[in-house]
Amino acid sequence: MTSSFAERRPASLVAGVRAVINKDLLLEWRSRARVNATIFFAFLTLLLFLFAVGPDTHIMAQSAAGYLWLAVLLSSVLSLGESFRMEAENAALEGLRLLPVDPKAMFLGKAIANTLFLFLLAVILVPVTVAMCGVEVQGSLMHGVAILFLGAAAISAPGTLYAAIASQVRARDVLLPLLLFPVLIPAIIGAVKATKLLFAGDPMGDLGRWTALLIFFNATYWLLCLLLFGRVVEE
Amino acid sequence: MKRAIDFGLPLLAIAGIVVGEIMGLWIAPAERHMGDVYRIIYVHVPAAWVALLSFLIAAAASFTFLFKTSWAADALAEAAGELGVLFGTVAYILGAIWGKGTWGVWWTPDPKLTAMAILVFGFAGYIALRNLTEEPERRAAWSAVVAIILAAGIPIVWFAVRWWGGLHQNQSTRDSMNAFMGATLGINVLAFTLLFVWFLRMRYRVAKAKIDEELSEPPEQELA
Amino acid sequence: MTLPSSSMVVQLNNVSKRYGRRWALVQLTFAIPEKSSVLLTGGNGAGKTTLLRMLATSLKSTRGEVRIFDKLSGVDNDLIRPRLALVTHDSHLYDDLSAEENLSLVGHFLPWVDMRRMGDILERVGLAPRRASAVRGFSAGMRRRLCMGRMLLVEPELVLLDEPFGQLDPPGVALVEEIIREVQQKQVTLVMSTHDVERGEALCDHHLHLKSGRVLRAVEPLGEPGEATRIAQELEARGGWH
C-alpha cells in the first residue's frame, strides 16, 4: 500500500469545494447543448411575458425588472433539476459520498456552480430586457453586478438543497418549484425592487435597504442549507 | 385523566365557539367605519392565529426531530403542518372576503398576508413531499428540513414586505374597538385554540399510529 | 472459536434493515475475520446488495450495530470510508466525463491516492485506448472494468464486490478473477456476492448465505471444493421463510 491507513485523510473543505465546482462546470460544458437550450428558454419566457402584457410600452418598462427575475427563476428550475439529474443517473453522488466527500463540500460546490450559471443567465438577460422593454440602465455597473449576483445566489442556496431532495422522489419536476418558490418570495421581492431602481433611478436612496435584504437572505439561507444538506444526502 | 380531556376538550371548544360567535355575530355592536362586514374578524383572526401557532409547532417539532429522532415529534410535525394549512387557508379566504368588503380589494401586499401565503404554500409543499416519500426515516428528515427552512424565512419575509408597502388593518381596528368587542375577540381566539388543540390531538394520534405501524419490529420466525 | 474483536474487520450485531414496510435484512449477527475472502450467496431479493451497501456505510441499519475496522458505522464513517471500496450495480460514474476524468476525481477528493498509477491501471483493465472517451459510450462491461480500476486506485483494505462477473464477456470475467487474486495477495479482506457460485468458491475461503434477509449460514470457512455450491442449493431448496 502506498500510504499507511491511519493517514488517509480526505481533502480539506476548500479543496473539496473546488473539486466539486470544477466537476460541475466541466459537466455543464460537456452538455452545453442543454445549457444553450436553457438560456433560450429564458429568452422565450421573457418574450411570452411581454406578449402577455404588451404592447403598452409604459407597462412593459414598469414591469421589466419583474419579468427578468421571473425568467431567471423559471429557468432555474430546469438548471437546478439538471444539476442533480446527472448525479442520480449512475448514483454518482452516492459514489462521491462514499469516497468520502464531505456533504458540506458537495453543497457549497454545487450551489456555487449553480449560482455562476444563474448569474451568467441574468447578465445575458439584462440587455435583452433593456432592448425589449425600453428601459434604461441608470445605476452603476458595480451595483448591477452585485444585485444580479446576490439574486442568483439567493435562488441557488435553497434551490440546490431542494433539488437534492426532489431528485430522490417521484414527481420531482413539480416538487422542486413547489418547495422552492414560497421560500424565495422575499428574495424575489428584493431582487426585483433593486433591479427596478437600477433601471429607473434611485431618487430616495432605497437601493441600500434592498441590497441589505438580499445580503441577509443569502447569509441566512447559505448557512442554514449548508448545515442541513448532510441530512438530505446521507441515508 | 386522558378520557376526561378527550371528552371535555371538544365540548369546551364547541361551547366556546358557539358562545363566541353568538357574541360576535349578533350581540357585539357594529363597527364605526366598516359596518357589519367587520364581524368576520371574529373568525378570521382566530383562524389566522391558530394557523400561525400550528406552523410554529410544526417547526419546533421538526427541529426536535433533527436532534433526537423522536417519532412523536415527527407525527406532531405532520399533524401541525396539515392543520396549519387548513386554518391558514380558512383565514386567507375570510381575509379576502373582509378585504373586498372594506377596501374593495381581494388581496394586498402586506407582511402578514404574504407571510401567511408563504407558510400555507410552503407547508402545502411539505405535505406533498411527505406524501411522495415512502421511507419513514427519509420522509421525517426531509420534511423536517423543509419546515425549518420555511420557519427561518419568516423574519426576512416580515421586513421584505413591510418595506415593500402594505395596509393591514391592525392599528385602526384596535383603536375603534370597544371593550366588549375586544372581549368577544378574546373569547373566540380562546375557543378556536381549544378547537385546534382538539384537532391536533386527534390528528397526532392518527399520524403516530401510522408511523408505529410502519416501524413495527421485524418478524420473529424460526427456520422451518 | 472466537477471535479477539480487533482482528475482525466486520462485526454485525443483531442488524436489521427496513425499506418502507419490507424488512430487507433481519437480525444479522456475524463477524468477518481480516484477510479472509467471503463468498456471499443467496437468491434474488435475499438482501445481498443491501448487506454490501451497509458494509460500505452507504446505508444505515434500522436496528443493531455495524462495526467496520472496529469503528462504528454511522458515527465514524469518515474514518471507515477511505479504507474500503464498493463495486456494485450503480457505477457511480459521470457519463459525460471520460474514463480518465472519472478516475481523476478520486485524486481531487482523496489527496493521499497516488494518481501516477492511473495510467497503468487503465492499461491493466484494458481501457487505455478509450481513456479519453466519454463513459456514455461505454458498454456495461467496460463500465465495470473502470469501476474495478477505480477500486485498484484507492487500494482499500476491505473490498466489497456486488456481482462482479455480471454482464462481462469471458475476457472480462478472466480479468476480474485476476484482479481479485491480485488484491488477495495484498492481504485485503474481500466480500463478494455472486450467482456464479462455482467461480466464487474457487476464489474464496469463507461462505455466507442469505435467504430473505436472514443469515442461513454464517461466515464459515470453506472445506472441500463444491461445498458452497452444494450447501447453497440445499439451503435454497429447504422450506422456510419467504
User: What is the dihedral sign for C-alpha B156, B162, B166, B169?
Assistant: positive
C91 inside 8 A of chain A by CB: yes
pLDDT, average across residues B64-83: 95
Which tens digit of pLDDT belongs to each residue from C10-20? 999 999 998 87
pLDDT of residue A156 exceeding 90: yes
Of residues B161 and C41, more confidently modeled: C41
On chain B, the residues whose CB falls within 8 A of the CB of C18 are: 215, 218
Q: Residue B81 has what pLDDT?
A: 96
Of residues B34 and B43, more confidently modeled: B43
B114 inside 8 A of chain A by CB: yes
B134 inside 8 A of chain C by CB: yes
Contact state of B114 with A181 under an 8 Å Cβ cutoff = no
Nearest residue on chain B to C26, alpha-carbon basis: B218
CA angle A27, A29, A34 (to 5 degrees): 90
pLDDT, average across residues C172-192: 94
Nearest residue on chain B to A189, alpha-carbon basis: B160
On chain C, the residues whose CB falls within 8 A of the CB of A19 are: 105, 108-109
What's the CATH number where C199 sits?
A: 3.40.50.300
Q: Residue B177 has what pLDDT?
A: 62
The single residue listed with the C-alpha cell 435467504 is: C211
B27 inside 8 A of chain C by CB: no
Q: Residue C94 has what pLDDT?
A: 96
Question: How many domains is chain A built from?
Answer: 1
E strand spans, chain A: none
Question: What are residue C73's phi and psi, to 5 degrees?
Answer: -65, 140
Q: How many residues does chain A have?
A: 235
Instruction: Give the whole-number percent of chain B exceeding pLDDT 70.
Output: 86
Cell numbers for A25, please give them.
462546470
List subunits contacting chain B, requiring 3 or more Cβ pairs under 8 Å: A, C
B161 inside 8 A of chain A by CB: yes
Q: How does the average pLDDT of chain C come out, rounded? A: 89
pLDDT of residue B221 exceeding 60: no
pTM of the model: 0.90
Cell numbers for B157, please give them.
419575509
Assign 3-state DSSP to chain A and report helix, strand, coil percentages, each to 5: 85, 0, 15
Q: Residue A175 has what pLDDT?
A: 95
Which tens digit of pLDDT belongs to each residue from B53-68? 999 999 999 999 999 8
Contact state of A168 with B138 under an 8 Å Cβ cutoff = yes
Residue type, A81: G
Single out the residue of C24, C23, C25, C42 nearest to residue C236, CA to CA. Answer: C42
E strand spans, chain C: 8-19, 22-33, 37-41, 63-68, 71-72, 84-87, 158-162, 189-193, 206-211, 214-221
Q: Residue B153 has what pLDDT?
A: 87
Q: Band the pLDDT of B30: cuts 50, 70, 90.
A: low
Single out the residue of B173, B162, B185 nearest to residue B45, CA to CA. Answer: B185
pLDDT of residue A17 exceeding 90: yes
Of C60, C90, C105, the CB nearest to A23: C105
The single residue listed with the C-alpha cell 479482506 is: C189
Which tens digit of pLDDT belongs to each residue from C42-87? 888 889 999 999 999 999 998 899 999 999 998 889 999 999 999 9
Interface with chain B: mutation pick from A84, A94, A181, A189, highest number of B CBs within 10 Å: A189
- Rounded to whole angstroms, the Cα distance separating C183 from C188 reads 6
Q: Residue B19 has what pLDDT?
A: 78
Instruction: Give the whole-number percent of chain C exceeding pLDDT 90.
Output: 68
Nearest residue on chain A to C19, alpha-carbon basis: A235
Contact state of C91 with A1 under an 8 Å Cβ cutoff = no
Q: What distance in Å separates residue A222's CA from the closest CA in chain B?
A: 11
On chain B, the residues whose CB falls within 8 A of the CB of C63 are: 218
Which tens digit of pLDDT belongs to each residue from B138-157? 999 999 999 999 999 888 88
Does residue A195 form part of some domain? yes
- Rounded to whole angstroms, the Cα distance separating A183 from B118 reads 7
pLDDT of residue C118 exceeding 90: yes
Q: Residue A92 has what pLDDT?
A: 94
Does residue A3 form part of some domain? no
Give every CB contact of residue B31 below 8 A, 6+ residues apart in sequence: B38, B176, B177, B181
Contact state of C81 with A99 under an 8 Å Cβ cutoff = yes
Q: Residue B167 has what pLDDT?
A: 44
Q: How does the average pLDDT of chain B come out, rounded? A: 83
Question: What are residue C159's phi and psi, to 5 degrees?
Answer: -110, 125
CB contacts < 8 A, A to B, total 87
Q: Domain range holding C111?
A: 5-237
Does residue C91 form part of some domain? yes
Q: Band the pLDDT of C131: cuts 50, 70, 90.
A: very high
Q: Residue C175 has what pLDDT?
A: 94
Judged on CB neighbours under 10 Å (0-12, 13-18, 19+), A204 is exposed
Q: Domain range holding A142?
A: 11-233
pLDDT, average across residues B195-203: 92
CA angle A87, A93, A95 (to 5 degrees): 130
Of A168, A183, A213, the CB nearest to B149: A183
Which tens digit of pLDDT belongs to each residue from A136-147? 888 888 999 999
Contact state of A1 with C155 under an 8 Å Cβ cutoff = yes
Angle between helices A57-88 and A172-200 (to 10 degrees): 140
Which tens digit of pLDDT belongs to each residue from A59-90? 888 889 999 999 999 999 999 999 999 999 89
Q: Band the pLDDT of C132: cuts 50, 70, 90.
A: very high
Single out the residue of B141, B186, B169, B202 nearest to residue B10, CA to CA. Answer: B202
Give me the residues of B, 149-168, that contact C with CB < 8 A: none
CB contacts < 8 A, A to C, total 97
Does residue C242 form part of some domain? no
- Rounded to whole angstroms, the Cα distance separating A150 from A221 reads 12
List subunits contacting chain C, requiring 3 or more Cβ pairs under 8 Å: A, B
Q: What distance in Å separates residue A229's CA from the closest CA in chain B?
A: 9
Q: What distance in Å separates residue B67's CA from the closest CA in chain C?
A: 14
Of residues A205 and C68, more confidently modeled: C68
B165 inside 8 A of chain A by CB: no
Question: How many domains is chain C built from?
Answer: 1
Contact state of C97 with A26 under an 8 Å Cβ cutoff = yes
Q: What distance in Å separates residue B189's CA from the closest CA in chain A?
A: 27
Single out the residue of A78, A66, A83, A85 nearest to residue A42, CA to CA. Answer: A78
Q: Residue B169 has what pLDDT?
A: 45
- Rounded to whole angstroms, the Cα distance separating C179 from C186 reads 11
- In DSSP terms, C15 is beta-bridged to C28
C240 inside 8 A of chain B by CB: yes
Distances (CA, A) of A131 to A6, A61, A137: 61, 10, 11
Q: Residue B222 has what pLDDT?
A: 43
Window from A114-118, B105-109, C21-25, C65-69 with minimum mean pLDDT: B105-109
Cell numbers for B138, please give them.
427519509
Of residues B131 and A132, more confidently modeled: B131
A228 inside 8 A of chain B by CB: yes
CB-based contact C25:C42 (threshold 8 Å): no
Contact state of B224 with C240 under an 8 Å Cβ cutoff = yes
CB-based contact C199:C10 (threshold 8 Å): no
Q: What distance in Å separates residue C213's CA from the closest CA in chain B?
A: 11
Of residues C44 and C153, more confidently modeled: C153
On chain C, the residues whose CB falls within 8 A of the CB of A92 are: 92-94
Bond from prior residue into A55 cis (ω within 30 degrees of 0):
yes
Q: What distance in Å separates residue C227's CA from the closest CA in chain A?
A: 33
B113 inside 8 A of chain A by CB: no
DSSP one-letter code for B28: S
